[in-house]
Structure 1
Amino acid sequence: MSKIKILDCTLRDGGYINDWKFGKKAIQNILFNLSKANTDIVECGFLTNKPYNSDCSLFNCVETIDALLEDNKNSDTMYVAMIALGEKEINPRLISDSANSYVDGIRLTFHPDEIDKAFEYAEIIKEKGYRLFMQPVGTTNYTDKQFLDLLERVNILMPYAFYIVDTLGMMYKKDLIRQVFLVDNNLDTNIKLGYHSHNNFQLAFSNAQALAEYNTEREIIIDCSANGMGRGAGNLCAELFMNYLNKEYSAHYDVLPVLEIVDQYLVPISLSNPWGYNSAYFLSAANNCHPNYATYLMTKHSLSMSSIGNILQQLPKEQKRFFNKQLIESIYQNYQSNAVNDIETITKLRKKFDGKEILVIAPGESVKSKKDTIQKYISKKRPFVISVNFIPDFVKPDMVFVGNARRYEELCDRLDIKKSVFTSNIPKLPKKAVKVNYSELISASNDASDSSGIMILKLLKKTSVKSVALAGYDGFSKNPLGNYFNNDYCGIYEPVLLQEKTLAISEELESLSKKMKIKFVTPSIYNKGKRSKKKA
């Protein structure tokens, strides 16, 4: 067996989850516990040109890292930091020499179009005495020739280690071993081989085992993080791999300090900012694209899996590597759009709504918890009731508005087609279905573009409705199971995207409220009047 070393990247790669805001005490304790666990190499965080915040694992000089390592200076653990080209990296000329620091090495990560700059920085890092880790992003995207050309330059540079990086988590064992074979037969034998994986296909652990079993004299470094903490599908779990090496190769890692990190610091983070395998990350890897594309589409909760796959396939090859929000929204809206002539429909709806109180019920959790309040309102006002993407069990709606293809599939068997209105993006509607133009109801904001709750209000505005009452417009809370009246409506939960969507919907409602009177029957985070009263 080759000699295996573990590199823990919790404070660096894991920081994508919580914006690197672990807290100063937590950072110190995580570093201490990883050393206590006999971790071979610990990555302390990024070296960047951002202003330093002692509560974050982002550093603007090695001295700020040194201050955290005072209690660990006599350990056998090697400490490193990362400079990532394109991520507000610090110029290595600005950092102190390694002789004056507890930081032993610097990992340098770069994209194919940054290779020349990377090698320029690499020389400076070596001159300053640091062990240099060369870590190209997404080695799976290199052709064999590009990869071998890179290895040739690396042999001249002679870094401490060179990495295979599965950025999109799409490598199967045969893909990994093929690249390992290329490296092992073309890289100088004195250069260590590193492997950084992501867990989109849930293969990080099995691939790490395959690499551990690979027959080579070369020293191998395998990256992992406590509880697999890392962006998207996450990384190889440190505690799993440590335990595996202990059992299979008589290694001497102490897993308990890592579990203490998980229990004390990472579980609380995961409750509001989860990571780990899900369908979105599988689709990303399967389509060889940035994971945020699939996450963005899935948090809309409006598409089937086949539709998401079809949209991802439309991404231009050159745009797949980096997330482009405007691009994916444009492709999404184009995919959804199916123009119809709805002039006659709008006229009929205008006559239907004329002179009536309108109550729109969305499927928020308050539909269940505040059912009595809604029923009292209906009993008192006798409104024209419109439900959005669902059929309430306590009142028979006068109309059901469906603006979501996924919800239509769930409702189609129970809908009264004569009392339903659909947006034109929904496929396979019956011939007699009443349709309105999707493209004219979507919002200018990407984050709220396809909110059915906003689309029905825009439709009401088009039909000259001047006043509307809302129920079930709760907004998105931090508890994903508390967002809907029925847990079956819950989908992929991405806190940042849902927070942005909540803000965008709030802005849309504020804009609409200038053109029509909007009253909230049930509690809502969009109800600014209520919020201001509470503050007062």
Structure 2
Amino acid sequence: MGERLLLDCTLRDGGYVNNWEFGYDQIVEIFERLVSSGVEFIEVGFLDEKSSFDRGRTVLPDTASVSRMFEGVSKGNSLVLGMIDYGACSIERLEPCEETFLDGIRVIFKEAKMKEALAFCAEVKKLGYKVFAQMVSVTTYTDEKLAEYAKLVNEVMPYATSMVDTYGLLDEEHLCHIYGILDANLDPQIRVGYHAHNNFQLGYANAKHFLSLDSKRGLLADGTLYGMGKSAGNAPLELLLMFRNDKQGAGYHVTQALEAIDNVIMEIYQRQYWGYNLFYYIASSMHCHPNYVSRLMNKRTLSVKQIRDILKTLEPAKSLLYDEAYIERLYREYQSIECDDQETLRILKEKLGRRPLLLLGPARSMMKERVKVKRFIEEKKPRVIAVNYAPPTIEVDAIFMAKSKRYMQLFSDLQHNVNRAKPIVATSNMTKSEGSFPYVLNYGSLIDRDAEIIDNALVMILKAVLRMGVPAVTLAGFDGYSKRSRNYFDENKEYRVDGSRAEYLNKYIGGFLRSISDKIELDFITKTRYEWQGKDGE
């Protein structure tokens, strides 16, 4: 069996969590603890010529900055590495290796750029660095491309080349298949590395299996302290240190890694979680770029099943290359289930009759001002439609639903709700496990195709009310969005928004209300942040 080595990349890959802003003292403590642990390689950050020098941040403009940051710090027996995302740092920014704190440089690149990137690796090698060629998204390489890549690598003879499982798609079988092709075609002197991501909770298991391969070739596995890293995180270094001590007779000082975790990493983890979750599971299981999943999940309109249905329609060539306009088009196509709703509108208008109409939203004011709302209902005797929720104590005439995600939540809530037998007025994009909705409105005629959020439920129900020719509507429980406090009275239904999104939604909906105020009389009986009629809501 060839040599087995470990590489820590906390200060580089871990930096995706905190924008690489560790702080100088924390950077030094992490580094010194890793040196004391005996890990063979320590990657200290990115080299990016567009960045400026900051002693507290591990993205540095050149090799001279690395030496400046770590001046006076001992690297013991560890070899120190920097990483270049090919094209981000020119060769002119790299001093000869003997003049810097760095011992090696890792160059990451996608398959389309492998020839140019390997040529760059050859130039870096001439400067005396140990060079690591990093195959980003190794799962995108065909067997033929892997063999072609290996031959190109042999011309450069880097210290190592690594399989980077960018989206956490590999299992042991697939990992061994890729390694087998590289092993059969690479020069025996070139080491092979593996960089795991934990989307399927396999980062540590895969790395452990990789290090255990019966191969004469030198192998190295990446890890980070506490698995800190991009997306679902990485293989935890402390587990790899322990594994090599227990199973391969290594002599790492695991306690030093644990001290770094306790003193530095846990504080970051408490502020910014990383690790396995549903989001990264969906991205990996659908073999797609995580941004596609986040775009769909952030809409808060789709069930998991619907998200997966949309992702299944991704073209293979686009699945791992994020295209915002493309996924937005797929979303609209999926949602745009057209129907003729003229008869539904006629029936609903007939049921409303001449009685006032009250729309209820799920915001906190429904609890804070419930006495006012109930008094209005007792005095005015309105027809009441709840929007995207079922009030637990107020009986309504119907429930309007425009979001499948909300309906899936509502379905269980209704079993013990005073409104469990009330009819659902649904938009045509909705799905139901069995049967059909009693009233269905055409989704395409209610959305705002020019808006950032095309299917806001309040906007949609008001458009439907306008189409019915209703002269006036009263609203309660539509508070607008806050970036600082809860938006919904039920925490389980909470829809948290950041500051810019809250501001956008309040401004957009306020603008819509103003645009229809000459067509329908609007009155809020609870406080709202929406600006309409040229003034702030109460």
TM-score by length of 1: 0.85
Greater alpha carbon shift after TM alignment, 138-147 vs 119-128:
119-128
Give, in angstroms, the shift of residue 158 of structure 1. 0.5
Q: For 1:289, what is the secondary structure of its paired residue? A: coil
Give, in angstroms, the shift of residue 240 of structure 1. 1.6
Write the letter of the residue equivalent to 1:422. A
CA distance in 1, matches of 2:532, 2:90: 46
Aligned to 2:235: 236
CA distance in 1, matches of 2:524, 2:32: 55
CA-atom RMSD, angstroms?
A: 3.4
Contact 1:454 1:505 in 2 (8 A): no
1:126/1:499 CA distance change after superposition, 3 Å: farther
Aligned to 1:391: 390
CA distance in 1, matches of 2:183, 2:123: 26
CA distance in 2, matches of 1:433, 1:281: 37
Give, in angstroms, the shift of residue 465 of structure 1. 6.6
Aligned to 1:422: 426
Answer with 1 or 2: which has the greater Rg.
2
CA distance in 2, matches of 1:255, 1:477: 42
Q: For 2:12, what is the secondary structure of its paired residue? A: coil
1:340/1:96 CA distance change after superposition, 3 Å: same
Q: Tell whether 2:375 aligns with 1:379.
A: yes
CA distance in 1, matches of 2:181, 2:345: 65
1:23/1:393 CA distance change after superposition, 3 Å: same
Contact 2:389 2:410 in 1 (8 A): yes
CA offsets per residue over residues 367-402 of structure 1, 9 Å max, x none?
6xx714233344257576443322121322343221
**Which sections of structure 2, spanning at least 5 residues, go unmatched?**
none
Identity of aligned residues (%): 29
Contact 1:448 1:504 in 2 (8 A): no
CA distance in 2, matches of 1:354, 1:31: 74
Aligned to 1:79: 80
Give, in angstroms, the shift of residue 149 of structure 1. 0.8
Q: For 2:5, what is the secondary structure of its paired residue? A: strand
Within-5 A mapping of 1:92-103: 92-103=91-102
Aligned to 1:188: 187
Aligned to 2:447: 442
Greater alpha carbon shift after TM alignment, 179-188 vs 268-277:
268-277
Q: Tell whether 2:359 aligns with 1:342.
A: no
**Which sections of structure 1, spanning at least 5 residues, go unmatched?**
none
Give, in angstroms, the shift of residue 487 of structure 1. 5.2
Contact 2:481 2:487 in 1 (8 A): yes
Write the letter of the residue equivalent to 1:375. V
Give, in angstroms, the shift of residue 198 of structure 1. 1.0
Q: Tell whether 2:42 aligns with 1:42.
A: yes
Q: For 1:76, what is the secondary structure of its paired residue? A: coil
Q: For 1:167, what is the secondary structure of its paired residue? A: coil
Q: Tell whether 2:63 aligns with 1:62.
A: yes
Aligned to 2:403: 404
CA distance in 2, matches of 1:521, 1:142: 58
1:106/1:478 CA distance change after superposition, 3 Å: farther
CA distance in 2, matches of 1:242, 1:476: 46
Write the letter of the residue equivalent to 2:431. P
Q: Tell whether 2:291 aligns with 1:286.
A: no
CA offsets per residue over residues 109-138 of structure 1, 9 Å max, x none?
111111222123212211222211101112
CA distance in 2, matches of 1:261, 1:357: 62
Write the letter of the residue equivalent to 2:509. L
Aligned to 1:119: 118
Contact 2:338 2:428 in 1 (8 A): yes
Give, in angstroms, the shift of residue 244 of structure 1. 1.8
CA offsets per residue over residues 400-435 of structure 1, 9 Å max, x none?
221112332343465667643211101247556222
1:199/1:66 CA distance change after superposition, 3 Å: same
Q: For 1:46, what is the secondary structure of its paired residue? A: strand
Give, in angstroms, the shift of residue 210 of structure 1. 1.0
1:188/1:503 CA distance change after superposition, 3 Å: farther
Give, in angstroms, the shift of residue 474 of structure 1. 6.3
1:53/1:400 CA distance change after superposition, 3 Å: farther
Write the letter of the residue equivalent to 2:69. L
1:14/1:440 CA distance change after superposition, 3 Å: farther
Within-5 A mapping of 1:348-387: 352=352, 356=356, 358-362=358-362, 364=363, 366=364, 371-379=367-375, 385-387=384-386
Greater alpha carbon shift after TM alignment, 146-155 vs 167-176:
167-176
CA distance in 1, matches of 2:227, 2:75: 27
Give, in angstroms, the shift of residue 460 of structure 1. 4.8
Of structures 1 and 2, the one scoring higher in RCO (CA 8 A, sep 6+) is 1
Give, in angstroms, the shift of residue 472 of structure 1. 6.0
Q: For 2:27, what is the secondary structure of its paired residue? A: helix
Give, in angstroms, the shift of residue 340 of structure 1. 1.7
TM-score by length of 2: 0.85
Give, in angstroms, the shift of residue 35 of structure 1. 2.4
Write the letter of the residue equivalent to 1:442. I
Greater alpha carbon shift after TM alignment, 180-189 vs 16-25:
16-25
Write the letter of the residue equivalent to 1:52. S
Give, in angstroms, the shift of residue 56 of structure 1. 2.9
Contact 1:326 1:446 in 2 (8 A): no
Give, in angstroms, the shift of residue 339 of structure 1. 1.1
Q: Tell whether 2:512 aligns with 1:512.
A: yes
CA distance in 2, matches of 1:81, 1:465: 67
Greater alpha carbon shift after TM alignment, 509-518 vs 10-19:
509-518
Q: For 1:72, what is the secondary structure of its paired residue? A: coil
Contact 2:293 2:307 in 1 (8 A): yes
Equivalent pairs, count: 520
CA offsets per residue over residues 188-246 of structure 1, 9 Å max, x none?
12211110111111111111111111112322111111221222221111122122222
Q: Tell whether 2:477 aligns with 1:471.
A: yes
CA distance in 1, matches of 2:65, 2:525: 51
Contact 1:418 1:433 in 2 (8 A): no
CA distance in 2, matches of 1:236, 1:263: 18
Greater alpha carbon shift after TM alignment, 47-56 vs 75-84:
47-56
Give, in angstroms, the shift of residue 448 of structure 1. 2.6
CA distance in 2, matches of 1:402, 1:470: 17
CA distance in 2, matches of 1:251, 1:5: 10
